[in-house]
Structure 1
């Protein structure tokens, strides 16, 4: 599987989009833009909210040049120019993050997810250890709490810790396996699970080294900003995969094979393709709400109250209640593909795609896609409740492969001409911060129709599985051969212990992109290490792609929930089934859960099901 980290420009775009929602809190209505005019006249871009400055030289700083909140590491020196000594200052105003958190706490979602209305009984002991929040690190805390509930990860990093530690690496601080094992032992041993009776929280574990190590070199996770838990989950699995060469990869228990069936709309021929994934993203169809009349009446009352300058009690909010089956039905729905290269007709036609699962993993992570993008390109979180079952049968998702009554499409001709992209439009889309492969997709599917059509396509498909993956036009013949690999890139990969042939194959398969080539080569490590064996006869296609397969029945064992309207602020907590009881992990607060709010979980939040053996 390729778990490529999205390109930095993509993160730059997301940061820009997310910040647009935060700016509504930063500026008051009726401003006269004097600061903007000052920037244009003088070229000095920074504006500081003085009441937020602390004696340590921290504070809210906005840059008109970047049109975004920024960090000024030299804030104390800059203010000294104006005769302001930060060491004599006291913080008097709330920062942007604090204002957002205060707003969130007033909502019923915040109260429900933290079970504020219940007398939560604090817990302590083995596997009941909290994690200290290092400043917007709740997304890390929630993900690792869930990961270290899975036996495969426990065997590798906790039970296998003595062997890992005994290797005596030269630089243990920067050794991924050592730091992951140290974190796992800290969470499960119970030796740091000491309760502060007055505060109701634990001493807990402070994962400073781990956060620094896993975020190194990443444009987002190396920062101290709030991040997306789902993106961190994928990033963490990528790191684990890279450090599992010649070792058991615990993430294999989360892998499953996805099967896509595409049918030509004219010839009716079909083609099956497969890939490996580590999560199942399910759409959340708001229109399928089972309580639509109640939601409509509530929205009418809320609109009337706002028109009168009033506000309804947040505890009385009526959310759309979405049946879990509706999410599954939306995922299984047939999708129309335009511009499909039909090898049967040697022409572009309309085709129809259906997605199923060829295998079912030991543990299945389900992502409820609660985050969307508004028409003004600002991100928004769907304020809905999804009726997640305690147990679920996903037999309807089982793919069956080529059927006797189906005719496979012939292989595409090798001389299929490559698609043409409008270079001017491609440059404009890249300047907006989108990944180059996503831009190619947008221009291909919109026939180079223009910026508006392409950008609308990008916003609609931002959450697709393959959004930033290398683009191959639908129906085209995929080849491992590509342009010659750059020698510097080959040597860079060879320094990690791979052969020249392996490095060249990986670079050709990923268009010369080194990070993607590393993902490609690590995901095929066992296959590449095995000696070539000439098959006696053509082998049937491997539908499993090396993934384990089992029953389609699962039961809920954990879920991660997000509070707030933006992934850049807010808070993550997780609920875990521990020895038959549900436990809430809210950073370093660990307590017995009385009413697990599973209907508000997501992964931007995530829901994790385990096999019902």
Structure 2
């Protein structure tokens, strides 16, 4: 949450709620979305909880005199337990005290923000992370083309090449991971024009760009049918990175022939996307 609120637009939106709302709210604070989200923003922005404090250690018989007189320097910090309890309500995992997956949690938080902000007639500031991906499918037999748009707020990159999991490098550049994600691949699907299974050339591109791009590294791969975590470091070099190279022209292009019934392809694509999400769990 600290990373999320480090964005000025997100912070300003929720911080602006704090004073006005707390003066008029008559709900139980632990059950009020506005109370919890604005308190979190206030705590992070005010600096009240980042002040250094001193505390004398509790003495015990095993300490010498110098240790007994020692002073610990600490800060209160923020423990947003009430916020987590409220946001996690209704989710089997996030309402518990068990360790959770950060990517799944932030997606749940985004969905909660979207719902709660819409209820209050406010614009969700986390829309700055939203963007559209375009999947282009071309049948290698009839060369019919189908386009499928996917709305998302995260780019999921495999940190190593999945076809060569036996070779795990110590580090990988972001540009290489992007090239893999946006590279062409051959998949087998039902073609509504050919009326049977055919190989399709699949190409994925940005349809538009977000204000802020969230990149999630997929660090699990399968070796001998066993899920294995990859500890390869992701090296981010932005100097020569140009995402325009991965931008779609947008929709059916001159000379292309659309498939007569793209819905069948879309259904299979949706199933494929859902399976990808399951594989990340």
TM tier, smaller: 0.7 to 0.9
C-alpha distance in structure 1 between counterparts of 2:161 and 2:104, whole Å: 24
C-alpha distance in structure 1 between counterparts of 2:101 and 2:207, whole Å: 28
Q: Which residue of 1 aligns with 2:209?
A: 360
C-alpha distance in structure 1 between counterparts of 2:105 and 2:238, whole Å: 26
Q: In the TM superposition, what is the alpha-carbon distance from 1:273 to its structure 2 partner?
A: 1.2
Q: Which residue of 2 aligns with 1:251?
A: 126
Q: In the TM superposition, what is the alpha-carbon distance from 1:191 to its structure 2 partner?
A: 1.4
Q: In the TM superposition, what is the alpha-carbon distance from 1:337 to its structure 2 partner?
A: 2.2
Q: In the TM superposition, what is the alpha-carbon distance from 1:166 to its structure 2 partner?
A: 4.3
Q: Does 1:380 align with 2:228?
A: yes
Q: Which residue of 1 aligns with 2:81?
A: 208
Return 5+ residue gaps in structure 1 as ranges. Answer: 1-143, 296-318, 420-437, 443-460, 469-603, 605-613
Q: Which residue of 2 aligns with 1:334?
A: 184
Return 5+ residue gaps in structure 2 as ranges. Answer: 55-70
Quick check: 1:321–1:387 contact (8 Å CA) kept in 2? yes
Quick check: 1:280–1:367 contact (8 Å CA) kept in 2? yes
Q: Which residue of 2 aligns with 1:430?
A: none
Q: In the TM superposition, what is the alpha-carbon distance from 1:200 to its structure 2 partner?
A: 4.9
Quick check: 2:154–2:215 contact (8 Å CA) kept in 1? yes
Per-residue CA distance 1:13-52 (angstroms, 9 max, x = gap): xxxxxxxxxxxxxxxxxxxxxxxxxxxxxxxxxxxxxxxx
What pairs with 1:509-588 in structure 2 (closer than 5 Å)? Answer: none
Q: Does 1:393 align with 2:266?
A: no
Q: In the TM superposition, what is the alpha-carbon distance from 1:236 to its structure 2 partner?
A: 0.7
Quick check: 1:212–1:222 contact (8 Å CA) kept in 2? yes
Which TM-score applies when normalising by structure 1? Answer: 0.38
Q: Does 1:165 align with 2:22?
A: yes
Q: In the TM superposition, what is the alpha-carbon distance from 1:376 to its structure 2 partner?
A: 4.3
Q: In the TM superposition, what is the alpha-carbon distance from 1:374 to its structure 2 partner?
A: 4.1
Q: In the TM superposition, what is the alpha-carbon distance from 1:261 to its structure 2 partner?
A: 0.5
Alignment match of 2:196 (pick from 347, 356, 363): 347
Q: 1:412 to 1:260 in 2, by over 3 A?
A: closer
Quick check: 1:156–1:248 contact (8 Å CA) kept in 2? no
C-alpha distance in structure 2 between counterparts of 1:364 and 1:280, whole Å: 8
Q: 1:220 to 1:372 in 2, by over 3 A?
A: farther
From the CA coordinates, give the structure whose radius of gyration is larger: 1
Quick check: 1:281–1:366 contact (8 Å CA) kept in 2? yes
C-alpha distance in structure 2 between counterparts of 1:410 and 1:167, whole Å: 58
Quick check: 1:161–1:181 contact (8 Å CA) kept in 2? yes
Q: 1:230 to 1:201 in 2, by over 3 A?
A: farther
Q: 1:343 to 1:219 in 2, by over 3 A?
A: same
Quick check: 1:286–1:322 contact (8 Å CA) kept in 2? no
Q: Which residue of 2 aligns with 1:370?
A: 219
Structure with higher strand content? 2
C-alpha distance in structure 2 between counterparts of 1:147 and 1:358, whole Å: 24
Q: Which residue of 1 aligns with 2:61?
A: none
Q: In the TM superposition, what is the alpha-carbon distance from 1:462 to its structure 2 partner?
A: 8.4
Per-residue CA distance 1:468-498 (angstroms, 9 max, x = gap): 9xxxxxxxxxxxxxxxxxxxxxxxxxxxxxx
Per-residue CA distance 1:280-336 (angstroms, 9 max, x = gap): 1111125899xx7xx8xxxxxxxxxxxxxxxxxxxxxxx522122210111012232
What pairs with 1:250-289 in structure 2 (closer than 5 Å)? Answer: 250-285=125-160
Q: In the TM superposition, what is the alpha-carbon distance from 1:275 to its structure 2 partner?
A: 1.9
Q: Which residue of 2 aligns with 1:187?
A: 44
Q: In the TM superposition, what is the alpha-carbon distance from 1:241 to its structure 2 partner?
A: 0.8
What pairs with 1:440-459 in structure 2 (closer than 5 Å)? Answer: none
Q: Helix, strand or coil for the counterpart of 2:117?
A: coil
Q: 1:266 to 1:288 in 2, by over 3 A?
A: closer
What pairs with 1:102-251 in structure 2 (closer than 5 Å)? Answer: 144-196=1-53, 198-245=71-118, 246-251=121-126
Q: Helix, strand or coil for the counterpart of 1:205?
A: coil
Per-residue CA distance 1:375-405 (angstroms, 9 max, x = gap): 344x432021221124532122111122212
C-alpha distance in structure 1 between counterparts of 2:32 and 2:5, whole Å: 19
C-alpha distance in structure 2 between counterparts of 1:169 and 1:398, whole Å: 49
Q: In the TM superposition, what is the alpha-carbon distance from 1:224 to its structure 2 partner?
A: 1.7
Quick check: 1:258–1:355 contact (8 Å CA) kept in 2? yes
Per-residue CA distance 1:190-223 (angstroms, 9 max, x = gap): 1122214654541112212112112222221122
Per-residue CA distance 1:447-469 (angstroms, 9 max, x = gap): xxxxxxxxxxxxxx98724x49x
C-alpha distance in structure 1 between counterparts of 2:73 and 2:254, whole Å: 63
Alignment match of 2:171 (pick from 302, 315, 321): 321
C-alpha distance in structure 2 between counterparts of 1:413 and 1:208, whole Å: 45
Quick check: 1:286–1:320 contact (8 Å CA) kept in 2? no
Q: In the TM superposition, what is the alpha-carbon distance from 1:413 to its structure 2 partner?
A: 8.2
